[in-house]
Chain A
């Protein structure tokens, strides 16, 4: 994309900001542009997240309504679009109860701290070419590191609430975050191996340069990352940390009002963070095979992000929840070995490519097909290995009988 550098050229939102900084640099003290650029960046991210949240809190409820054969919110404003604003007002005005025996400091600080890591993740994610707050050269590492910090405020919330259900929920959350960190990291490493950089904009640039998306080269890794991401943002089928049929509401059982609102909001933010990472790393970020020349890159990026978020809503409307030990077993027994094999194969492929100096146009389609086949074979074979295809697991209808009195317990049909 050519930098026209006219401030009204909104294909790159950096243009107006750059113009503003230029003006400030010319007429103000030296430090002012630095402060202003940081503030503009962070405020933009927060505003973007809040607007997306308000929009998607409504979209999710409408979509779930459609999935479930009902209308969803339709009272506040046309089609209920202001429902999320009404909810936000409710969260703010409700009393935030602090029960008597809680650890007050931790109880109050947990909902504030929990929102920080997910906000920080967005600092390294490019919304468009050059539209990134901090283009770190270790962006992938930063995302992983910051993402795992969430466990601490959540555990603080569960521990300080002085409630068994809260503590159980927090323990589950921490155990899950730690277990799913590994497959998540391994899934992202496959990307790093291919792109040869940890810089987020570098990964997008690599995909643009080779005219491909990493989802084609790393189909298994996308799947692993999506599952691990679902666990991290605590939505069905992995909302075990707040499974309402088991442990009431998990770590935020004792929270109400805006303090609960912060947890709820953080979950959405984390969802946007996961989808943003997938969109950047696996789906080519702001690029769309030349369309970014015509449409602003940030619109393409947001379209990908929101499209992926739709997947989470769909899953929530369809799938039941796993048990905690099954979920943990899935991470360690299934995802981790499969991710290891995946990264081994990715390394091998890159080695072959680099050593023999092959042309990218030739090898990349080959790798894509090979990895797709590998993904399918690996899932089936490893599933069989773990015994998922036992005949007794297959659903059978209840047997129909006409006469009474006999017992057919234990007889397989």
Chain B
């Protein structure tokens, strides 16, 4: 006997505990099964790309903090690299290393958030979140002692960084890196060998590599699908070509693999940071750049491996102090595009953890 049932719509968001902000997902359900998913974005649109056209190149740096507000350092870095490419500025070696150090600390902080919110979607009651926030807090303290801000750092500047690190930075950073492997082992003991997490996320939200490449997915989501790709190695920027690290890659492309990749990236970031702190050269951290910068007419695209994926800034200059065109290639938004293909055929709880495993920040999705 088959029961005839009518499809019905479950509206997840924009105000829902697990949409990471104001993301809306209209799920058409046939009983428990999702037969269609429609993503509605734009609730947090701030017209950033247009606003940036009315401001000078330096004034635009604080805007980039507000894109992916969980990894402001990476956003600053990508934007400043684009401007430097446009003007042709060489950043001193110390500045390059400081950028790497900050970007990698930011990656740890971001992945702490990503992993713990993924675990929260799986239903853990705040424990991994609180554990990881303990380490994230220390990283934010490091940011604060360096540039005075914790979240919206506005640290990386055109031609270098805003401040050199203070004397107390090194001992604090080394102490944090010393305890990190132990902490990561703790997270793994809590989450990785957990039968329930395995049952919830194994073979759920599978993203095959051909679809991932076709949709130009990047970052841990792409690597979780088994594609060996990392801009830090493919197109090295800052000081990454002088540092030794491995790329973690998954083999099944499911939610659990994306989680594993992020876990391993924590270790790799610690490894990079240890080398970068050892190799940090002396000398000036920045070069002097005029405040009202007038780049020659032309265009430039610079990209970095942000914690969430490929973050790129495309700038067109007409020779004036303002960018003529300011485009952001945001990883959150592009990684979100195959969500429909990933969740159709699953149930609502699976859709929630699939969304959690992509790791989006709505500030970056909507800009």
Contacts and interface: CB of A to CB of B under 8 A. Distances in A.
Interface of A: 64, 67-70, 164, 236-237, 239, 243-248, 316-326, 392-393, 395-413
Nearest to B190: A318
A397 B260 contact: yes
Contacts of A399: 248-251
B119 interface: yes
Given A320-B197, A398-B260, A407 B134 contact: no
Looking at B227, B230, B263, B349, the one whose CB has the most chain A CB atoms below 10 A away is: B349
B17 A317 contact: no
A402 B261 CA distance: 14
Please give me the 7 A-B residue pairs with the lowest Cβ-Cβ distance, nearest first.
Answer: A321-B123, A409-B226, A68-B130, A398-B248, A400-B246, A245-B18, A320-B122
Interface string B1-37: 0000000101000001110000000000000100000
Contacts of A244: 17-18
Contacts of A236: 123-125
A237 to B, nearest CB: 6
B135 to A, nearest CB: 10
Looking at A236, A245, A247, A406, the one whose CB has the most chain B CB atoms below 10 A away is: A245
A408 to B, nearest CB: 5
Contacts of A401: 228, 246-249
A245 B130 CA distance: 17
Given A404-B228, A408-B226, A408-B228, A398 B350 contact: no
Interface string B117-146: 001111111110111001000000000000
Interface of B: 8, 10, 16-18, 32, 119-127, 129-131, 134, 190, 192-194, 196-200, 202, 208-209, 223-230, 233-234, 246-253, 256-257, 260-261, 263-264, 347-350, 352-353, 356
A237 B123 contact: yes
Nearest to B227: A407
Given A64-B125, A68-B126, A395-B198, A407 B209 contact: yes
Nearest to B232: A404
Given A319-B124, A401-B247, 6 more contacts: A68-B126, A244-B17, A245-B17, A397-B260, A398-B263, A404-B230
Nearest to B10: A164
29 contacts: A68-B127, A68-B131, A69-B134, A70-B130, A164-B8, A243-B349, A245-B18, A245-B349, A245-B353, A246-B352, A247-B348, A317-B127, A321-B122, A321-B123, A323-B199, A393-B198, A395-B193, A397-B260, A397-B263, A398-B224, A398-B261, A399-B251, A400-B246, A400-B248, A401-B249, A402-B247, A409-B208, A410-B252, A411-B251
B227 A409 contact: yes
A245 B120 contact: yes
Nearest to B202: A393
A250 to B, nearest CB: 12
A398 B184 CA distance: 14
Contacts of B350: 323
Looking at B8, B129, B251, B257, the one whose CB has the most chain A CB atoms below 10 A away is: B251
Contacts of A398: 223-224, 248-250, 257, 260-261, 263-264
Contacts of A410: 226, 251-252
A407 B227 CA distance: 4
Nearest to A321: B123
A229 B229 CA distance: 48
Given A245-B18, A403-B228, A320 B124 contact: yes
A410 to B, nearest CB: 7
A70 B353 CA distance: 26
A409 B123 contact: no
Contact of A409 (B32, B130, B134, B252): B252
Nearest to B263: A398
Given A395-B198, A409-B209, A318 B347 contact: no
A359 B356 CA distance: 60
Contacts of A404: 228-230, 233-234, 247
Looking at A67, A323, A397, the one whose CB has the most chain B CB atoms below 10 A away is: A323
B262 to A, nearest CB: 9
A328 B251 CA distance: 30
B260 A326 contact: no
Contacts of B130: 68-70
Looking at B10, B123, B208, the one whose CB has the most chain A CB atoms below 10 A away is: B123
A320 B249 contact: no
A70 B132 CA distance: 12
B196 A322 contact: yes
Contacts of B125: 64, 236, 316-317
Contacts of A317: 125, 127
Contact of A320 (B18, B123, B253): B123
A400 B248 CA distance: 4
B121 A245 contact: yes
